[in-house]
Homo-oligomer: A and B are copies of this chain.
């Protein structure tokens, strides 16, 4: 029995103010080609189909189009769960209809842990849920952390589990030891949000979503497929792929990966401005890629971003690196500043991540006024 494991599509994602929907569409059409070639018995999507609980309408249309092609036109069963970026309730709409055509969508955790059987393999669907929600759902007061929650859920699953058949858990969690990047949203404010990998011992394979690298965890039977695309520069060096699992009757499996080519890669380049603007340097590159550029030049530069954009239209982020001799002093200063980011900086960062527009001086002024007002009021309390 063969299935494809993917996750973290994050449809509707904004990266440094740029909507990724066009890139996601391009990539997913290649994904459909792979499904057509591989003819798997199922496609498993382990959460974060959307990037936010209310995704942009073109992301909604894209998901509809892609899933319809895979499920109905290519007649492939689909197993999908909600992640921490999805709205459990909104994603769940219609799922009772979908299962008639073997599209098994579990947006919201419910108190029914029976598996989905597909060609001899049992899939247990565990969409992302807050520990408090799991405590309530299972009526189990001992559930306080994500780890407690997963243990309690797996306990329930074990009532239905036939150890003589291949069993696959599909989950969206931060498994202890996994390597994070900048584009996953922290699961827990205070407390670790971690789940111990031992929870998954009863399963032949655990198909995870949440961490964006396919190498996020080293484990024989637990795997993150990784995200669809690179969604932050901390992922620039990751090799994104789709996992293809061929499950045997005894629960052992073979794993292959396939890599697809994004329309525009997301990568980092660095050097002096003159070097980067030299045709000898840039001629062999895909100039449309999304870039983070680090400049080594010292001293003032006149409008470097616009100069660079004449050659590299999709520069998303520009940094300057301070010469090695000064670095020690300055970098400790910088990291202190980073820790003590002002409210205004935090808001600016948030604003630029969430919108496509610039955080202009006008806007900065409005926000400064609001912050000052609140701080004044706090001080008076």
- A contact set with B: CB distance below 8 Å: 54, 57-58, 60-61, 63-64, 68, 71-72, 87, 89-90, 92-94, 96-98, 100-101, 103, 369, 373
Contact = CB atoms under 8 A, between A and B. Distances in A.
A72 B60 contact: no
A67 to B, nearest CB: 9
B54 A54 contact: yes
Given A57-B87, A87-B57, A101 B97 contact: yes
Contact of A57 (B61, B90, B96, B101): B90
Contacts of A63: 93
Contact of A68 (B58, B96, B373): B96
Contacts of A96: 64, 68, 72
A100 to B, nearest CB: 6
Given A94-B97, A97-B97, A97-B101, A89 B57 contact: yes
Contacts of A90: 57, 60
How often does this chain occur in the complex, in copies? Answer: 2
A363 to B, nearest CB: 13
B89 A94 contact: no
A103 B93 contact: no
Contacts of A68: 96-97
Most buried by B among A60, A72, A96, A97: A97
Nearest to A56: B89
Given A57-B87, A63-B93, A100-B101, 6 more contacts: A54-B54, A64-B94, A71-B97, A94-B97, A97-B101, A369-B373
A335 to B, nearest CB: 36
A98 B100 CA distance: 10
Nearest to A377: B362
A93 B97 CA distance: 12
Contacts of A97: 68, 71-72, 94, 97-98, 100-101, 103
A103 to B, nearest CB: 7
Contact of A98 (B61, B92, B94): B94
Most buried by B among A60, A92, A373: A60
Contacts of A98: 94, 97
Nearest to A87: B57
A64 B96 CA distance: 9
19 contacts: A57-B89, A57-B90, A58-B89, A61-B89, A61-B92, A61-B93, A64-B96, A68-B96, A68-B97, A71-B97, A72-B96, A93-B94, A94-B94, A94-B97, A97-B97, A97-B98, A97-B100, A97-B101, A97-B103
A373 B370 CA distance: 12
A378 to B, nearest CB: 14
A89 B101 contact: no
Most buried by B among A54, A72, A90: A90
A103 B92 CA distance: 17
Q: Which 5 residue pairs across A and B have the least CB separation, nearest first?
A: A57-B89, A94-B94, A64-B93, A68-B96, A54-B54
A91 to B, nearest CB: 10
A200 B92 CA distance: 37
A106 to B, nearest CB: 14
A68 B100 CA distance: 12
B100 A60 contact: no
Contacts of A87: 57
A128 to B, nearest CB: 15
